[in-house]
Amino acid sequence: MKSDRYVIISTYDTPCGEIILGSTDDKLCLCDWVKSRHRRTVDNRIQKTLLSRYMEGETPVMEEAKKQLAEYFDGKRRSFDLEVHLTGTDFQRKVWDFISKIPYGTTKSYAQLTCEVASESDIRAVSNAVGSNALSLIIPCHRVIGSRGQLTGYAGGLLAKQYLLDLEKANLAAGNAGGGGAAE
């Protein structure tokens, strides 16, 4: 793909794995796990949708994302207040919007999410949309679990998912109020 437009990318180390951040037009369009099994698919979708290529660098929104991520991992932030650019279908965006509303420290099953977003028979489509989320942590898909409370697929791996859920529950138990607005 030949393009003069760029998505600026850089990596960020979290306590549970390395993530890749990307921004375009002063908005965050990528906050995903480097070792995700969907890495290539997500990257291709972003570059194709935005008619852009990746280029390493830093932008103000990425610096702000790193600051807010550090606050989240320190237990001082429960949600993110960042301008984002979603690259996905209308259905995926609808699923991601519902995921964004799952409160900090709580979970929702894929079945519950499906009933809120679509018909019960659409659980596979909902699961695929969850897996296509390019803004992990910002759109907290780690809060979506199996119907019997079991951990199921996560781009960062099940250990990262468990770490994030434990972190949120520990911070709730400690009474850390945290700051920040709602994820967009």
Q: How many CB atoms lie within 10 A of CB 151?
A: 16
CB 68 within 8 A of CB 77: yes
Whether residue 178 has pLDDT greater than 50: no
CA-based max dimension of the chain: 51
DSSP calls for 101-153: TSPTT--EEHHHHHHHHS-GGGHHHHHHHHHT-SBTTTS-GGGEE-TTS----
Catalytic residue among 16, 29, 31, 141: 141
Q: What is the mean pLDDT of residues 47-72?
A: 96
- The stretches of the chain forming alpha helices (DSSP H) are 39-49, 60-73, 90-100, 110-117, 123-131, 158-173
**What tens digit of pLDDT does each residue of 91-113 get?**
999 999 999 999 999 999 999 99
141 tagged catalytic: yes
pLDDT band at 2 (very low <50, low <70, confident <90, very high): low
**Rounded distance between C-alpha atoms, residue 103 and residue 119, angstroms:** 23
pTM: 0.87
81 neighbors 126 (Cβ within 8 angstroms)? no
Work out the average pLDDT over 69-86: 95
pLDDT > 90 in the chain, percent: 67
> How far is Cα 164 from Cα 145, in angstroms, rounded to an integer?
13
- At 29, which helix (H) or strand (E)? strand 27-33
Q: Which residue has the tokens 């001082």?
A: 76
Rounded Cα distance, 130 and 141, in Å: 6
- Which pLDDT score is estimated for 122? 85
**Which pLDDT tens digit goes with each residue over 125-167?**
998 999 999 999 999 999 999 888 888 888 888 999 999 999 9
The predicted structure's pLDDT at residue 1: 46
Q: For residues 142 and 137, what is the distance between their CA atoms, to the nearest angstrom?
A: 7
> Which amino acid does the sequence have at 64?
E
